[in-house]
Amino acid sequence: MRGPERPQWVAIVALMLALAACHRSPHFIGTNITGVPWGGSFTLTRQNGRPFDTASLHGRVVLIYFGYTRCTDVCEPTLRRLARLVHRLGSAAARTQVVFVSIDPRHDTPERMRKFLDHIDPQFIGLTGTQSQIARVVAQFKVADTRHAKAPPAERFTHSDGIYVEGPSGRLRLYVSGSTPLRGLAHDIRSLLAGD
């Protein structure tokens, strides 16, 4: 009995590979944005006053959150939730890093960032910079960011509250709402660590 004709055989193999790939692909709780043409590594000033290149975090799952220290109603609670998340990860915590990027560099000096994060989790990396540096990174990640000059300090900015998640390869993989249940976030982190 002859095998299938070549075009038919190629189509069958292609279908089998596609189905196998779908089977291996993890189901994420967050929105899978793998392949978007934005994001990537950047260099800003860490809370210790030294330049920090996020490319040095490759090999870890990196959760990047944009906000500002005077945002006590959204940013601080979100960062506290991320601190609880990391502490629940067990051994996976060593390969997970939270990065907080200020969108208010005029007030968020490295020293202010350090004091703010010391009360939440000293292991978090806080990054700030000049107005132009921050503007470039905000554009690089397509962060919605609106300034309200006459509003009280805690309400001075309106910004997206999502968390950008990079896999160990350094690629942007997920966009996660700040209110996503911690169990779902932990699931996504472990999935990325198991095979980015």
In this structure, is residue 46 part of a structural domain? Answer: yes
Cα torsion 184, 82, 43, 151: sign? positive
Selected residue with higher pLDDT from 155 and 115: 115
Residue-wise pLDDT for 142-155, tens only, equals 987 655 444 555 45
CB 71 within 8 Å of CB 103: no
Residue-range definition of the domain harbouring residue 150: 29-194
Residue-wise pLDDT for 135-181, tens only, equals 999 999 998 765 544 455 545 556 567 999 999 999 999 999 988 99
Asked whether the predicted pLDDT for residue 15 surpasses 60, the reply is no
In this structure, is residue 17 part of a structural domain? Answer: no
Taking the C-alpha atoms of residue 79 and residue 74, their distance in angstroms, rounded to an integer, is 9
Taking the C-alpha atoms of residue 31 and residue 34, their distance in angstroms, rounded to an integer, is 9
CB 134 within 8 Å of CB 101: yes
Chain mean pLDDT for the chain: 85
Which 8-state DSSP code applies to residue 170? S
In this structure, is residue 167 part of a structural domain? Answer: yes
Q: What's the pTM? A: 0.82
In this structure, is residue 42 part of a structural domain? Answer: yes
In this structure, is residue 3 part of a structural domain? Answer: no
In this structure, is residue 49 part of a structural domain? Answer: yes
In this structure, is residue 82 part of a structural domain? Answer: yes
Residue-wise pLDDT for 20-29, tens only, equals 344 445 689 9
Residue position matching structure tokens 């006053």: 49
Of 111, 135, 137, nearest in space to 50 by CA? 111
What is residue 4's predicted lDDT score, i.e. its pLDDT? 43
What is residue 78's predicted lDDT score, i.e. its pLDDT? 95
Residue-wise pLDDT for 52-79, tens only, equals 999 999 999 999 999 999 998 899 999 9
CATH of the domain at 71: 3.40.30.10
Q: Which two tokens stand for residue 52?
A: 């920090």
Phi, psi (rounded to 5 degrees) for 100: -105, 120
In this structure, is residue 127 part of a structural domain? Answer: yes
Q: Which two tokens stand for residue 118?
A: 């010391």
Asked whether the predicted pLDDT for residue 90 surpasses 50, the reply is yes
- Could you give the number of structural domains in the chain? 1
